[in-house]
Structure 1
Amino acid sequence: MAQKSYRQAINEALHAEMARDPNVILMGEDLTGGAGGSGVQDAWGGPFGVTRGLLGAYGPERVRDTPISEAAFIGAAAGAALTGLRPVAEIMFIDFLGVCFDQIMNQAAKFRYMFGGRARTPLVIRATYGAGTRAGSQHTQALHPILTHIPGLKVVMPSTPYDAKGLLIQAIRDDDPVMFLEHKMLYDMVGEVPDRSYTIPFAEARVVRDGKDVLLIGLGRMAHIAEAAAEELARNGISACVIDPRTTSPLDVETLVEFAEKIGRVVIVDEANPRCSVAADISAILCEQCFDALKGPIRMVTAPHTPVPYAPNLEDAYIPSAARVVEAAQSLLRTR
């Protein structure tokens, strides 16, 4: 199986679905070089080079640079989805969600419900998230809890190149609006990815590694932090199971409950701020459904309840680390 980057896997998924279905179109800022600009077309491929090469293959009618107005092009994408197209719109940074929140929360997420199930909205909104790139508080947040809270949206957080391709193809083929969140620090990650098209169902968590002493649940990039912690714990004779939920809405509650009941000790790792986070949500679900099986309190390892710092040393301290996960796991094992 070929080794491909996270960035390349997403590009392949877009290529495959645009070739398969002429209704799939792309919309966003700087996808080809800038709307109305005089520069070389296809020079950018989006701010992270993900859509490079698609303009030449599918033309400007299907790969559309938009004005710098998320409210305008996300609204246009939602409307296009209602007419039978399958738009994949790109928000450069999830932090710009506030500019187009009405179009997502009050419109796209509610079309199916408000029109009695007769309206399909096959819309994918890709957005980057996460700290680590020294981009400051306004380009670095992890806002997946806000999106997970909204009924009518599906929220996807792939952590590997393999998952990125399969989950994006699944998202494009879905008839409901999907928020597809890509961590900026994963774009250069390399892993095995098939050349063929394939899908990964939503609400199907990935068991990264099995274990018997403590369960580590890592969201998005935090699955890798949890895995690094599990390796450190293993060097100290502690067997840690690691699960990546893959999607936060729908959430694979069945798998999480099954492993929490079997192991009894749980640490949840989430880059979002702690209040009303997905970590807090999963903790509440597990406490409600398998409280008697727990051998200690559920630990959450999250970012602090502050904006993301710009200073490199503070940003590094802000991001949940493997050392903090190890400490949380070891504290649970000391609980009687």
Structure 2
Amino acid sequence: MAELRFGQAINRALAECMEEDPTVFIFGEDVAEAGGPFGVTRGLHDRFGPGRIRDTPISEAAIASAAVGAALSGIRPVVEIMFMDFMTLAMDALVNQAAKARFMFGGQTSVPMVVRTPHGGGIGAGPQHSQCLEAWFAHVPGLKVVCPSTPADAYGLLKSAIRDPDPVIFVENKALYAMKGEIPDDTSGIPIGAARLVRPGTDATIVTYGATVHMVERAASMLAREGTEVEILDLRSLQPWDEAAVLASLARTHRLLIVHEAVEAFGIGAEIAARMADVGFEELDAPVLRIGAPFVPVPFAPGLEKQYQPQEQDVAAAVRKLCA
């Protein structure tokens, strides 16, 4: 196994997919010689040339629309939207075109495109560069949404996303780019829709994804010192999500907490809570709880931003409430 940073793992997956499939190409703002705003595509322009790694004008609507057209023509574009906040400018192409083409043409065509975009706070980027908007896209039939938490998952999920015949929104948390981890030699990819058991436990299940996984792990260690063992599930894929894995974990622990960095209201956690209250009602020994950001824009000030993001003590308090 090779040890790579999260961003390097994405770079490796891109390079390997471009080597195995000449129809894969990359375009976006500053992705060529500059290597992208976070350096994720660094070196690919020199390796594959300007024909397959292309800079674009500053127009997210044009980037997404060109990707849809290219995908419909038999090419597999991987585009980068510099911040997830800027996905607002690409909504028509993604929601009204990419997501619906297979259905509108009776399955005669597909849209094999990937949109890479970073989300999340913690770096003082302010309210217009720190949002977690993944629930928007998980709500749209025809779109797949993934959000890895480790370099290995970023590598494996991106390979699967690029090979997928349908449009995939690939969400990367900015706080993870420097994180190191081992990348397996297996290049087959990780199936979209399969959760990962991070930590087994008996007293409560915590379902989470992205950078929040690591905060929840720290909270679990804190609770373990108190004698409470929580089971942690990393969703990895938000649409489709692994309902069977969540239900199986709930059947073992009988208590459920969902944690995400995105705003709590109308979020991913709300869907999981509602579904488990339906299909898993008989397994519940306590009401399902959720933790997410408050219903306000992301603060710029570091102190306020830390209060805005869910913290270990919030998770520990919620688990204690569940187990009381």
TM-score scaled by length of structure 1: 0.95
CA distance in structure 1 between the partners assigned to 2:5 and 2:63 by the alignment: 28
Q: CA contact under 8 A between 1:218 and 1:225: conserved in structure 2?
A: no
Q: Does 1:119 align with 2:109?
A: yes
Q: Which residue in the other structure is 1:38 paired with?
A: none
CA distance in structure 2 between the partners assigned to 1:162 and 1:6 by the alignment: 8
Alignment of 1:49-88 (within 5 A): 49-88=39-78
Q: Please identify, of 287-296 and 175-184, the stretch whose mean Cα deviation from structure 2 is larger.
A: 287-296
Q: Does 1:288 align with 2:278?
A: yes
Alignment of 1:160-199 (within 5 A): 160-195=150-185, 197-199=187-189
Q: Which residue in the other structure is 2:300 paired with?
A: 310
Q: Please identify, of 187-196 and 15-24, the stretch whose mean Cα deviation from structure 2 is larger.
A: 187-196
Map Cα deviations across residues 103-157 of structure 1 (whole Å, 9 max, x no partner). 0000000000000011111000000000111000000000000010000000000
Q: CA contact under 8 A between 1:87 and 1:122: conserved in structure 2?
A: yes
CA distance in structure 2 between the partners assigned to 1:56 and 1:197 by the alignment: 23
Q: Does 1:15 align with 2:5?
A: no
Alignment of 1:1-336 (within 5 A): 1-32=1-32, 42=33, 44-195=34-185, 197-334=187-324
- CA positional deviation for 1:292: 1.7
- Counting matched residue pairs gives 324
Q: Structure 1 vs Structure 2: percent identity of aligned residues?
A: 48
Q: Which amino acid aligns with 1:174?
A: D
Secondary structure in structure 2 of the residue aligned to 1:135: coil
- CA positional deviation for 1:330: 0.4
Q: What's the C-alpha RMSD, in Å, of the aligned pairs?
A: 0.8
CA distance in structure 2 between the partners assigned to 1:138 and 1:119 by the alignment: 35
CA distance in structure 1 between the partners assigned to 2:175 and 2:265 by the alignment: 24
CA distance in structure 1 between the partners assigned to 2:77 and 2:2 by the alignment: 28
CA distance in structure 2 between the partners assigned to 1:179 and 1:289 by the alignment: 28
Map Cα deviations across residues 59-83 of structure 1 (whole Å, 9 max, x no partner). 1110010000010111001100000
CA distance in structure 1 between the partners assigned to 2:51 and 2:187 by the alignment: 24
CA distance in structure 2 between the partners assigned to 1:248 and 1:100 by the alignment: 20
5+ unaligned residues in a row in structure 1: which ranges?
A: 33-41
- CA positional deviation for 1:223: 1.2
Secondary structure in structure 2 of the residue aligned to 1:241: strand
Q: Which amino acid aligns with 2:13?
A: A
Q: CA contact under 8 A between 1:152 and 1:176: conserved in structure 2?
A: yes
- CA positional deviation for 1:197: 2.1
Q: Which amino acid aligns with 1:21?
A: D
Map Cα deviations across residues 217-259 of structure 1 (whole Å, 9 max, x no partner). 1121111121111111111111110000100101110110111
- CA positional deviation for 1:98: 1.0
Q: Which amino acid aligns with 2:285?
A: K
5+ unaligned residues in a row in structure 2: which ranges?
A: none
Q: CA contact under 8 A between 1:124 and 1:177: conserved in structure 2?
A: yes
Q: Which amino acid aligns with 1:62?
A: R
Q: CA contact under 8 A between 1:207 and 1:244: conserved in structure 2?
A: yes
Q: Please identify, of 59-68 and 258-267, the stretch whose mean Cα deviation from structure 2 is larger.
A: 258-267
